[in-house]
Amino acid sequence: MNSLILRTATPFLVGLTVLFSIFVLLRGHNVPGGGFIGGLVGASAFAIYTINEGVAATRRAMIAHPVAIAGFGLFIAGLSGVASLVFGDAFMTGQWWFPAFAPDLKYLSTVVLFDIGVYLVVVGAIVAIIMGLEETE
Amino acid sequence: MLLTAVLAPFVLALFAPAVRRVAGPATGWLLALLPAALTAYFAGFLGAVSAGDPVSFSTPWIPSLGIHLSFYVDGLSLLFALLISGIGTFIVLYAATYLSNHADLGRFLMFILMFMGSMLGLVLADNVVTLFVFWELTSITSFLLIGFNHTSERSRRAALQALVVTGGGGLALLAGLLLMAQAGGAMELSTLLQSGDLLRDHPHYMAILVLVLIGAFTKSAQAPFHFWLPNAMEAPTPVSAYLHSATMVKAGVYLLARVNPGLGGTEVWQTVLVVFGAVTFLIGAFLALKNTDLKFMLAQTTVASLGLLVFLIGLGHELALEAAMAYLLAHALFKGGLFMVAGCIDHGTGTREVWRLSGLRTAMPITFAAGALAALSMSGLPPFVGFIAKEFVYKGTMGELWPLAITGVAILGNALMFAVAFLVGFKPFLGAPSETPKHPHEGGPGLWLGPLTLAVLGLLAGLFSGVPEALLVGPAVWAVGGTQVPVDLYLWGGFKTPLFLSLATIALGALLFWKAQAISNAMATAFAKIGNIDRGYDRFLDALVGTARAVTARLQTGTLRHYLLVTLAVVAVVLLLPMTLMGDLSVSVPLPRTDFYIWGIALLALAGGLAIAVSRSRLIAILSMGVLGMAVALIFVLFSAPDLAFTQLMVETLSVVILALVITRLPIYRSDWRGWPTAVRDGTIAVAVGVGFTLLLLSVTGRPLDLTLSEYFAARSYTEAFGRNIVNVILVDFRALDTFGEIAVVVIAGVAVLSLLAMGGRRLAQTATTSDPAVPSGQTAPVTNDEKDAR
């Protein structure tokens, strides 16, 4: 891609977008957002990066293979469902932790863990496809 | 307890291979203990049942659907249960000796025991669903047994054929049984069959009858389904002796006898059963004489006997039913015995060709004794039980229904059976000793004990006919007839018509036996010229597979365009047709809000859509689709669905990116050119889908919405799940399992796209240069996955 503007903007754009995607993921429980949308935002960040810097650069930036990231997300999501079994509830019943120092937090829960799993799956799968296509010449 | 008895053979079956490894030569004797114990257990019911008190057991299975594992022991079930477990005892013993050197004997005994359990369950079942389940289990286990020599292609074909025919009939039976249960308002046969004329007068009687008859006729090899049984002789002899004489093939007869009180007695029932039974009887008897292999001869006579039983049940009056039950007992004893004798001869001499065998009486005296006794019973000579059965057959045929024709059929059929009985039971043993592949020798007691016992029982049952009369045949006749009538079996009926008919039969039979070889040869040449149903079966299967292949080739073209065309056309029809037919088209169109920016967005969307339709460049089409999608996202924003708008925005962005990558990176034609006819066709379908969806949405939104669920989630979202964003709370908490399934699909789709790219990338690049530009087949396949994934 030979656009000077885009190439100059890419590092800032990508960093901000990834940050924004995490923000969208975490705010999702109370206002528009969540793992799925956050994952799409994150994936678009990596899409920009891949188109401008190439597949090899993205692979370095992501450290793990995107499919592995997606698989890990699925694993986390499944794991968050298993947690409830320990407490004698049905599979995937949400569990909350209200720590003593912040009793009103209402945030530390298996549900949020599940959402993080969704985020990782979406980012991993879409980036994998984009990278796969980008590599096919 | 009864459930335990039915399940016990299945449990033992699991351990049969292990027992064989540990016990070696004693395997048969050890495993035969279970069927022997079962025989004793069932014999314990004789007292109650012969006093006219059926016994029943029930265990809930799926109570909400009225399905129970319920069993019912009356005369009919008990007669069958005793035959299955009693003959089964000797079969296990016989098989263990017959196949003692076979590497897979353990597996064989496992199949035999599984079959025994299935058969017991079938004849004892009271609930129609239980009956069906065991019915299918007998088909499956028999498939395994017939195909036991799985390295032989003929075995495999015979096994598959039996499964196709009996399994197909089983499906019809399931429908018939369920229809019967619905019509009669009960799932238990014991209740259904005591409901008098309820079923016979029901408007669905014909449907029930036809379906049940298809099930029974396929299982019991009635013409025109008689071809599978002789082919099933590919199975080892113990299987033929057990399944194809005494038990499985009688399941159809059992079913007919069982439903007789509820469905029988009508004119249709009588006509169909008598005609099909009589035809089968004659076909089987003639074909038996045509064959020269002992086992195949016996197989054909079994077809004939089944025909005789069906025809007697069809006649339906007391004497006919008595004859049927007496014949059933006699047949199980002599045919099971003769099959085992044929196996002994094969085992001892290495051949089953009847014209190559003679003079074995000195080498195999015990087998000869068993064969002779069984053959005398089969040929219907006194004082064997076969004679009583035949006398009663003649008494039964002289009823009010076409007495002359039926009696004629019976005489001819019985005479043929007489001839075959002597060919199998006497011919190999008498005369001068013949040259055989192996030096003739007697097998061990495991081999001759079974046939000898059965043959001797056939003699005893004839001499002391009062015992089977009171304990077995009488109660069975009560069960089939539905009323307790006095039953009297006797050897000597005086100088009356049946006796003269018997004499005529014997004379004719002796004549046929004398001329047997000539008849056999004449028939073999005649049959070689005309086709047979077995070949018809092959042609039918070929045609079926051919049609399936043609349909698949037509539907699964591998072209994305074609798939989309079919899918969208179907969607259009599904949307528009019901609305048109039901006259539901008159939906009120609410006047839209006329704010100028809404019109602006609508125009933007319209422009995007038109651009997609008219653009020749695929890249422009993709970008235009993005415009359309963004406009839709804006509409979501305006109608306060921020979550939806956000998602739509992201999905559209990524779709454009991915599709643009697909277009620029994969070898796909970048221009989209189609001629006028194609454009008109595609345009029509597109407009139809669009109109259909619009009308659907209008009619849906025109109705009051059911807000129960929305209110439920709104009320509980924060109190129970601590989240104010209902959409997200539903996704990750209330319906997290659904989301889990969906993200699993996303991962799989991602992996699938990657592997398609990895596998196909290079090949696609090659085919792109050679294939027809109008049909970029295969190349577009990754796009489907991309799209699915992005959404």
Chain B contact for A73, CB < 8 A? yes
Token pair 């020798």: residue: B441
Q: Do A133 and B757 touch (CB under 8 A)?
A: yes
d(CA B328, CA B330): 6
Beta strands in B239-286 (DSSP E): none
This prediction has a pTM of 0.72
Q: Give the pLDDT of residue B319.
A: 87
Residue B781 has a pLDDT of: 39
Of A51, A94, A118, the CB nearest to B743: A118
**H or E element that contains B70:** strand B67-73
Closest A-chain CA to B648: A37
Mean pLDDT computed over every residue of chain B: 86
Could you report the per-residue pLDDT of B378-397, keeping only the tens digit for each?
A: 998 888 888 988 888 888 88
Query: The complex's ipTM?
Result: 0.92
> What residues of chain A lie within 8 A of the CB of B729, using their CB?
29, 111
Name the domain boundary from B495, B514, B533: B514
B723 contacts A129? CB cut-off 8 A: no
Domain identity same for B525 and B509: no
| Phi, psi angles (nearest 5°) of residue B85 | -75, -35
Note whether A43 contacts B: Cβ–Cβ < 8 A.
Answer: yes
The pLDDT assigned to B761 comes to 57
What are the φ/ψ torsions at residue B654 (nearest 5 degrees)? Answer: -70, -35
Question: What is chain A's length?
Answer: 137
**Among B263, B245, B116, B150, which Cα is nearest to B196's?**
B263
* In a shared domain, residues B508 and B398: yes
**pLDDT classification of B762: cutoffs 50, 70, 90:** low
B 318-337 residues inside an 8 A Cβ radius of A: none
Q: Are residues B496 and B545 in the same domain?
A: no
> Taking CA B781 as the corner, what is the angle to CA B780 and CA B782, rounded to the nearest 5 degrees?
95
Domain that holds residue B430: 274-514
Q: Closest to A44 (Cβ–Cβ): which among B650, B661, B753?
A: B650
Question: Is B156 or B593 the better-scoring residue by pLDDT?
Answer: B156
Nearest to A65 by CA among B655, B750, B650, B662: B750
Asked whether the predicted pLDDT for residue B226 surpasses 70, the reply is yes
Claim to verify: residue B489 and residue B613 sit in the same structural domain: no
Contacts of A124 in chain B (CB under 8 A): 747, 750
The distance of Cα B76 from the centroid of its chain, to the nearest Å, equals 24
Residue A96 contacts B where some CB pair is shorter than 8 Å:
yes
Amino acid B223: pLDDT: 82
- String of DSSP letters for B472-520: IIHHHHHHHHSS-------S---SSHHHHHHHHHHHHHHHHHHTHHHHH
pLDDT of residue B580: 82
At B213 the pLDDT is: 95
Give the pLDDT mean for B100-113. Answer: 91
Domain boundary among B468, B486, B514: B514
pLDDT at res. B790: 40
Both B618 and B529 in one domain: the answer is no
Instruction: Point out the domain boundary residue: B670, B688, B713.
Output: B670
Q: Please indicate whether, in this complex, the C-beta atoms of B743 and A121 are within 8 angstroms of each other.
A: yes
Residue B632 has pLDDT above 60, yes or no: yes
Mean pLDDT, rounded, for B691-696 = 88
- Overall average pLDDT of the B103-132 stretch: 94
- Do B342 and B424 lie in a common domain? yes
Distance of CA B496 to the CA centre of its chain: 46
Q: Which of B417-426, B497-506, B522-531, B633-642 has the lowest mean pLDDT?
A: B522-531
- Contact assignment for B758 to A132 by CB distance below 8 Å: yes
Q: Do B436 and B485 reside in the same domain of the chain?
A: yes
Is the per-residue pLDDT at B266 higher than 70? yes
Assess whether pLDDT exceeds 70 at residue B591: no
Min mean pLDDT across B37-51, B214-228, B324-338, B667-681 is at B667-681
Minimum Cα–Cα distance from B720: chain A residue:
A94
Confidence of residue B595 (pLDDT cuts 50, 70, 90): confident
pLDDT in tens, B239-262: 988 987 778 889 999 999 999 999
Residue B586's pLDDT is 60
Q: Is B791 on the interface with A (CB under 8 A)?
A: no
- At residue B788, the 3 state secondary structure works out as helix
At residue B38, does pLDDT exceed 60? yes
- Which phi and psi angles does B56 have, rounded to 5°? -135, 150
Name the residue facing A129 among B732, B761, B789 (closest C-beta): B789
Same domain, B536 and B407: no
Q: What does the pLDDT average to over B31-43?
A: 94
Q: Give, rounded to a whole angstrom, the gap between the first and last alpha carbons of chain B.
A: 57
Three-state secondary structure of chain A: CCCHHHHHHHHHHHHHHHHHHHHHHHHCCCCCCCHHHHHHHHHHHHHHHHHHHCHHHHHHHHCCCHHHHHHHHHHHHHHHHHHHHHCCCCCCCCCECCCCCCCCCCCCEHHHHHHHHHHHHHHHHHHHHHHHHHHCC
- Tell me if B531 is assigned to some domain: yes
pLDDT digits (tens, 9 = 90+) for B172-193: 999 999 999 999 888 899 888 8
Residue at B358 is within a domain = yes
pLDDT in tens, B725-746: 888 888 888 888 999 999 999 9
* B428 pLDDT above the threshold of 60: yes
Q: Nearest by CB to B653, which of A44, A73, A128? A: A44
Question: What per-residue string of b and e applies to A77-103 under the rule 16 or more CB within 10 Å gives b?
Answer: bbebbebbeeeeeeebbbbeeeeeeee
**pLDDT of B343 above 70:** yes
Residue B16 lies in a domain: no
The answer to the question of residue B473 being in a domain is yes
B789/A32 Cβ within 8 A: no
Length of chain B equals 791
Instruction: At B71, give phi and psi (nearest 5°).
Output: -130, 150
Query: Do B369 and B493 belong to one domain?
Result: yes
Nearest CA in chain A to B759: A136
Least confident of B632-646, B760-774, B775-789: B775-789
- Report whether pLDDT(B765) > 60: no
What does the pLDDT average to over B281-306?
89
Contact A77/B743, CB-based, under 8 Å?
A: yes
For residue B723, the chain A residues in CB contact (below 8 A) are: 29-30, 111
Q: Does A125 touch chain B (CB under 8 A)?
A: yes
State mean pLDDT over B230-245: 87
The arithmetic mean of pLDDT across residues B344-370, rounded, is: 88
Residues of B in contact with A30 (CB under 8 A): 723-725
Q: Do B501 and B525 belong to one domain? A: no
Question: What is the rounded average pLDDT of the residues B393-417?
Answer: 83
Give the SS3 label for residue B389.
helix
Q: What is the mean pLDDT of residues B212-233?
A: 90
CA distance B758 to chain A (A): 8
Q: Give the per-residue pLDDT at B789.
A: 40
Identify all chain A residues contacting B648, using CB atoms and an 8 Å cutoff. none
Q: How confident is the model at residue B548 (pLDDT cuts 50, 70, 90)?
A: very high
pLDDT of residue B205: 92
Q: Is residue B285 part of a domain?
A: yes
Which whole number is the average pLDDT over B342-347? Answer: 90
The β-bridge partners of B57 are: B71
Which B residues, 729 through 748, put their C-beta within 8 Å of a C-beta on chain A? 729, 731-733, 736-737, 739-740, 743-744, 746-747
Interfacial B residues in 627-686 facing A (CB < 8 Å): 642-643, 646-647, 650-651, 653-654, 657-658, 661-662, 665-666
Distance in angstroms (rounded) separating the CA atoms of residues B325 and B281: 17
Q: How confident is the model at residue B501 (pLDDT cuts 50, 70, 90)?
A: confident
- Whether B4 is in a domain gets the answer no
Tokens of B641: 């669905």
Contact A126 B643 (CB under 8 A): no
A98 vs B: CB within 8 A: no
Comparing C-alpha atoms, which of B780, B776, B772, B773 is closest to residue B753? B780
Residue of A nearest to B642 (CA): A32
Same domain, B373 and B479: yes
Q: Are residues B528 and B482 in the same domain?
A: no
| Mean pLDDT, residues A96-103 taken together | 77
The residues in A 5-24 lying below 8 A from B, measured between CB atoms, are none
B292 located within any domain: yes
What's the pLDDT at B244?
Answer: 77
Contact map slice: B 129-188 vs A, CB within 8 A: none
Average pLDDT, chain A: 88
Tens of pLDDT, residue by residue over B46-91, are: 988 888 888 888 888 888 888 889 999 999 999 999 999 999 999 9
Identify whether B630 is part of a domain.
Answer: yes
B120 pLDDT tier (thresholds 50, 70, 90)? very high
Count of domains in chain B? 3
Q: Is A129 on the interface with B (CB under 8 A)?
A: yes
Of A118, A134, A136, the CB nearest to B732: A118
Q: Give pLDDT, residue B783.
A: 39
For residue B68, report the phi and psi dihedrals to the nearest 5 degrees.
-125, 155
Query: Over the stretch B296-307, which tens digit does the pLDDT of each residue have?
Result: 899 999 999 999
Contacts of B744 (CB under 8 A, 6+ apart): A74
Residue pLDDT, tens place only, B433-447: 888 888 888 888 888
* Contact yes or no for A115 and B754 at CB 8 A: no
CA–centroid distance for B322 within its chain: 31
Q: Which of B658, B731, B750 sits opposite A67 (nearest CB)?
A: B750
Does the pLDDT at position B493 exceed 80? Answer: no
- At residue B689, φ and ψ (nearest 5 deg) are -65, -45
For residue B788, name the pLDDT band (cuts at 50, 70, 90).
very low
